[in-house]
Structure formats: C-alpha cells, structure tokens
Amino acid sequence: MDWVDQQEIKFNERGLVPVVTQDESGEVLMLAYADKEALRLTLQTGKAHYFSRSRQKLWLKGETSGNTQEVQEVLVDCDQDAVLYRVKQKGMACHTGNRSCFYRKLK
C-alpha cells in the first residue's frame, strides 16, 4: 500500500475534505467532513474527529452521545481529495438513532 503525507490532502475552497466512515464489516456508516485540525486529531488520538459545517466547529464523534468511533485506519482516495475512516463503532453512528446514516432507500 502506498503512503500519502497529510500535507498532500487536497482540501476544498472551504478547507474541508469529505470523509466516508465505514465499520469493520464494510458497512458505510456516515459521510462527514474534516478540516486539517480534525484530520490531525484523528491521526493523533485514534478517535474520529470531524468538522461540523452547520455549527462551524470541530467535533469529536461521541463527545455528547457516547457513540464513539475508534479509528483503525485512514485511507485516501486516488485524487487525494476524499478520505475513508475505517472504525470500530460503539453504539449508533447516526444522530437519528440508526446504526448508519444510510438507512433510507430512494424511490
């Protein structure tokens, strides 16, 4: 596997990169965004950090809900403009109380 340095991540014009979060089984749990600080903290602590676009601030997954994500691996896509967190999920990933944020089908 190739390695990518954190400085090579291509953040968008708002300083964010999309993060797909996947559990150990391969199930996609959520899509969120990270800024440089969230990515740095994730790598440093092994706990999933994100940047909330609605609240305009950094957040640690499970900080208030207790539904934490222990990051096992961080992968970067071929264009270096998207990130994948592979996690051990404790509790539900979605704020609605569902295991995954992807619990609805499109008609």
Confidence at 4, pLDDT banded by 50, 70, 90: confident
Domains parsed from the chain with CATH numbers: 12-89 (3.10.20.810)
Global pTM? 0.93
Average pLDDT over residues 44-51: 98
Look at residue 97 and give its three-state secondary structure: coil
Confidence at 39, pLDDT banded by 50, 70, 90: very high
Q: Is it the case that residue 1 has pLDDT exceeding 80? A: no
Q: Which residues pair with 16 in a beta bridge?
A: none
Confidence at 6, pLDDT banded by 50, 70, 90: confident
Residue 36, C-beta contacts closer than 8 angstroms, at least 6 positions apart: 6, 9, 11, 15
Position 59: which residue type? W
Cα–Cα–Cα angle for 74, 80, 82, rounded to 5 degrees: 60
* DSSP percent split of the chain into helix, strand, coil, nearest 5: 10, 35, 50
